[in-house]
Amino acid sequence: MNKVSAIRKPKITPPKFEWTYIYILMVFLGMLTADVITTSVRDLMLPTKAPQVTNSQTFRPPEVPMRTEYNIITQRNIFNSDGVIPEPLKGEDKTPEDLPAELSKLPLSLIGTIVHVDPIKSIASIELKGRNKIDHFAIDDEIEGMAKITKVERRKVFFRNLSNNRNEYIEIKEESKVTFGTKTVTTTGGPIQQNGNEFTVDGTFVQKKLQDLPELLQTASGQFSFTNGRIDGYRILDVEPDSLFTQFGIRPGDLIKSVNGQALDSPAKAMELFNDLKNSGQIKMSINRGGRDEEMTYNISR
């Protein structure tokens, strides 16, 4: 009997995690209920009127001053506490030294110039008219108390007139040029005969050429050569093909070291060479050509 009852009434065991499932189900139902209630009363919670504005602000454009309000600036000098507008400054009168150089009326005639790479060492040969005198001048030299040399250029010399302090100049005019012709140097005949480094020159021909010394000096260009800061000769840079220098056998690149045994170590001695041509019967010139020393001899017939 007892065995039969035990069979008919079996023992019921709750499943595992049963309470966990029940708790989750309750939370879900609660959230669903809250969402339904919120949806139902949401319209009742919205305001029906716009809120009142207590501190309203009105935009005002900036005030623009009238043009007449600026008149006070134009009527007074804002840079002067006294309000006094001074007289406009007048340009200062230029001194004679500041004026451009003008052609001089002094009794001076430019014979020739030797322009050096260092302007201080340039030299000008100037004739004092009426005195039959030719002197050589460098920068800062005074000419008989009349003028002071300030600049030496090719065919032009600038100086300060000591009587009025004005800048003036003298120049060799282009119209003074002459044409020497295109005679070629031959070993026989003609005013110049050449035999190696020895030349026989007609004195009359030389005198004629020296009459236009300014033009003669412009047919060749050169500069003084320096060794250890001292002049050791005059370097010929360029020679015109038909010039007297070319006929005397002088070539570009030649270094003239001495004339008649005197070292060519100053611009003044370079000028003396032309004076010697007028009076001397023979001139010996020592040159360096291509690194080799040579001697040129000129026999001048009178």
For 212-230, the pLDDT digits (tens) are 777 777 788 777 888 787 8
- How confident is the model over 236-258, as a mean pLDDT? 85
Closest CA to 155 of 118, 106, 122: 122
- How confident is the model over 130-142, as a mean pLDDT? 83
Give me the percent of the chain exceeding a pLDDT of 70: 69
**pLDDT attached to residue 162:** 92
Which of 7-21, 30-44, 101-115, 216-230 shows the highest mean pLDDT?
101-115
Lowest-pLDDT range of 57-61, 103-107, 222-226: 57-61
pLDDT grade, residue 234 (50/70/90)?
A: confident
**pLDDT attached to residue 55:** 57
- How confident is the model over 111-124, as a mean pLDDT? 83
- How confident is the model over 272-286, as a mean pLDDT? 77
Q: Is the pLDDT of residue 148 over 80?
A: yes
**Distance of alpha carbon 136 from the chain centroid:** 32
Domains of the chain (ranges; CATH) run 102-171 (2.30.30), 192-300 (2.30.42.10)
Q: Is the pLDDT of residue 53 over 70?
A: no
Residue with tokens 């070993």: 187
Q: Is the pLDDT of residue 48 over 60?
A: yes
Cα 177 from Cα 215, distance rounded (Å): 6
- How confident is the model over 252-274, as a mean pLDDT? 78
CA distance from start to end of the chain: 186
Closest CA to 151 of 163, 167, 139, 166: 139
